[in-house]
Structure 1
Amino acid sequence: MTHRDILVTGGAGFIGRNMIRGLLDDGYTITSLDNYKIGGWEHVPASLRDHVEWVEGDTRDLELLTKTVRGKDAVLHLAAPSSFLMYEEDPVDGASVTTHGFLNVLEAMRRGDVGKLVYASTSAVYEGNPVPYTEGMELAPPDLKALSKKWNEEVARQYSERYGMTAIGMRPFSVYGHDEFSKGGYANVISLFVWAVLHDVTPVVWGDGRQTRDFIYVEDAGRAFQRALECELPTQEFNVGTGVETTFSEVLAMIGEELGRPVAPRYVDVPIAIYAERLWADITRARDVLGFRHRIDVREGVRRVIEAARAARTSPRWNTLGAAQMYFETLPRG
């Protein structure tokens, strides 16, 4: 394997810090570029702080990015708003970070002769297609986040064809895990439900609870990115999922079973115009080409989220998390 000295953009984020832990365990040298907008430096575990070169900055700063990427073997690009709520809240900044920042990454790599990029796209590019979602589907993204990510994929292919670099696009499905506290109201619904129940707050479910997600644990998602980094592949895209659909009602039942008490949610009308009723990944390409399969099923993942939440009860931020599921109510409507 040749890609040992890596730049990770968004390395302090939820997926980033979990991915970096696995990379360090496997002997990589890591530089992280992050603006610490979501959560901040305080959410970077002490175990990582002295083993990574942490650079504070924004991917829209081409001069800084060009300097930081110089001499690296590859780039893992995660720096972009992760939740559709972020784009609803500030569409201009969301699209700017996603597109401008991504183009800067490609251009900095071109200038620095760095030939391998693995980057985060999104499963939202598929919305409007029938499930399960396969990588070869025609894409017509219905919202700004998905459209921005689709643009990234197209630009990545252009740079690949013109300049000979390899750009592997990863399309994560519903990523969740034990340390989403830094994301607050932007967190995955599994974390939001657990936090609410542990605060004796009624979980709120949009619709009837039969909507599904392909939930993938954050450590598994990080392993998928690492597999894409380590495999010698041409430019292409991969689904990052488990191939398993789980309903919101099933998640709530699991939480209740793990806590030993029933969970009775409150059902409300879906408050947004664009909403996926089903997310389900076809994992054939990831399995056959990357050799990737998930290790942590939803039941075990729910158990880990509960354990982490119980351990966080002494943290200063704990008291704010019970109401985090209602963050969307603060967004402007229009």
Structure 2
Amino acid sequence: MTRVLITGGAGFIGSHAADALLVAGYEVRLFDNLSPQIHGAQRERPSYLDREAELVVGDITDALAVERALRGADIVLHLASAVGVGQSMYDIDSYVRTNELGTATLLQALTRRPVERLVVASSMSIYGEGLYRAVDHHAELAPDERPIDQLRNGEWELRDAAGHILDPVPTPETKPPSLSSIYALNKYAQERMCLITGNAYGIPTIALRFFNVFGPRQALSNPYTGVLAIFAARLLNGRRPLVFEDGLQRRDFVHVKDVARACRVAIETDRMNDVFNVGSGQSRTIVSVARDLARVMERSDIVPEITGKYRAGDIRHCFADIAKSRALLGFEPSVRFEDGLAELADYLADQIADDQAEQAAAELSRRGLVA
């Protein structure tokens, strides 16, 4: 059987990708350092991992460990990454080491042991602000970051030179990168390093730009994980979800099972050296998502707390144009947001979460990263 090595394979997306690949008949090896921030201090094999998936514990920056993990692998799905915009803005050396040096370590090994295909997880964060349209003449725009003085005044929306509010539209892969956080820079570096190396060494390579992934198995005690998991940890502890700005910023929430399927499709496509958005193709405001989650968790009495504050590295609106993924990969999201939320609520019913959102916000504020 074809063996797929999934770096970061014991994590949220990796474990679901492993499930999808095992069902499709692949042999799966997982490589993961079982980071305490994600997996807890015990660093044990997660109970949700399929027994058929081999787990190799090691760090992506350890060249010898990476070499061992690659032995016998035909395909690499590279998901290993430190995740989180906020934390990346002060834990800079750790993020660069894990995300960029770790990817370089993997690629160095692949120059000696090429594989049939490489798929790397990129991120919507590389876009910075999404694509916009001018209301008066409908021209599409890729605006710069919002000025800090504007944010301090609580003026959240992007405007054109005449002061008119810009209308956000779906963001395609053709939008130029605008890197507004260390994490965004890391993900762009990962994407480009893989595509450059793949092209040079004849390894067909695909980069998948994930939007806001949600679903069961996301680390609830990691305050820098996906926003739905952070909100869930608050609600499980009877606390109000913390929503930055005015809560009307828009994002694209895609279910982890759709993301896992996109990974399998990217492994099996004959496309090469290309990038694809992986999202739902829909947008939702952050505050509406917080309310929807409270409702399905039967905690509608806990209303979101709108902080009116801005975090360094945050952007206003970004949601996916998935036309290219549909046309060239055959990727079509299948999990409705409402169904995904219901599944998440069932998963959360038995979970205990160490809510650290306030500590994380305080750390950012102490460092001057909250306006």
User: One fold, TM greater than 0.5?
Assistant: yes
**Where does structure 1 lack aligned partners over 5 or more consecutive residues?**
313-317
1:67 deviates by 2.6
How many residue pairs get matched? 325
Q: Deviations over 1:198-219 (max 9, x none)?
A: 4321222111111111001111
Structure 1 counterpart of 2:25, which letter? Answer: G
Change (3 A) 1:47 1:75: closer
When residues 254 and 128 of structure 1 are mapped into structure 2, their CA distance, relative to the original with a 3 A threshold, is closer
Structure 2 match to 1:127: 128
Pairs within 5 Å for 1:19-98: 19-37=17-35, 38-40=38-40, 41-42=43-44, 44-45=46-47, 48=50, 50-98=51-99
* Superposed displacement of residue 68, structure 1: 1.9
Q: Tell me the secondary structure at the aligned position of residue 181 of structure 1.
A: coil
Alignment deviations for residues 212-231 of structure 1 (CA, whole Å, 9 cap, x no partner): 11001111111111110011
Residue number in structure 1 paired with 2:350: 311
Rounded to whole Å, the distance in 1 between the matches of 2:39 and 2:7 is 15
Match of 2:179 among 141, 160, 174: 141
Contiguous gaps of at least 5 residues in structure 2: 132-168
Instruction: State the AA in 2 paired with 1:79.
Output: A
Choose 102-111 or 247-256, whichever is displaced more.
247-256
Q: Give a deviation string over 1:35-69, Cα, whole Å, max 9, x none.
A: 11121544622552x31221111111122212321
- In structure 1, the residue matched to 2:304 is 265
The letter for the 2-side match of 1:284 is A
Partner in structure 2 of residue 320 of structure 1:
354
Equivalent in 277, 294, 306 of residue 333 of structure 2: 294
Aligned mates of 1:63, 1:260 — CA distance in 2:
48
Structure 1's 183 and 6: CA in aligned 2 closer, same or farther, altered over 3 A?
Answer: farther
1:330 aligns with 2:363: yes
Distance, in Å, in 1 between the alignment partners of 2:100 and 2:238 is 40
For 1:149 and 1:46, locate their aligned partners in 2 and report how far apart those are by CA, in whole Å.
Answer: 27
Q: Are residues 1:279 and 2:318 paired?
A: yes
Alignment of 1:228-239 (within 5 A): 228-239=266-277
Instruction: Give SS of 2:73's match.
Output: coil
Structure 1 residues 153 and 179, CA, compared in 2 at 3 Å: closer, same or farther? closer
User: 2:130·2:319 contact (CA, 8 Å) conserved in 1?
Assistant: no
Local SS of the residue matching 1:171: strand
Aligned equivalents of 1:306, 1:184: Cα separation in 2:
18
Per-residue CA deviation, residues 125-171 of structure 1 (Å, 9 max, x unaligned), is 10134242111222231221111221222222321332111111011
Contact 1:190/1:302 (CA < 8 Å) preserved in 2? no
Q: CA deviation at 1:70?
A: 2.5
Contact kept, 8 Å, 1:19 with 1:223, in 2: the verdict is yes
Deviations, residues 251-298 of structure 1 (Å, cap 9, x unaligned): 133234432734422111334222121120000111111111111122
**2:206 matched to which residue of 1?**
168
Counterpart CA distance in 2 for 1:197 and 1:115 is 44
Q: Is the 8 A contact 2:130 2:317 kept in 1?
A: no
RMSD: 2.1
Distance of 1:239 and 1:154 partners within structure 2: 15
Decide whether the 8 Å contact of 1:203 with 1:264 is kept in 2. Answer: yes
User: What displacement does 1:122 show?
Assistant: 0.8
Match of 2:111 in 1: 110
TM-score normalised according to structure 1 size? 0.90
Structure 1's 325 and 12: CA in aligned 2 closer, same or farther, altered over 3 A?
Answer: farther
**SS of 1:186 mapped into structure 2:** coil
Change (3 A) 1:179 1:71: closer
Q: Compute the displacement of 1:188 (Å).
A: 1.9
Q: Larger C-alpha radius of gyration, 1 or 2?
A: 2
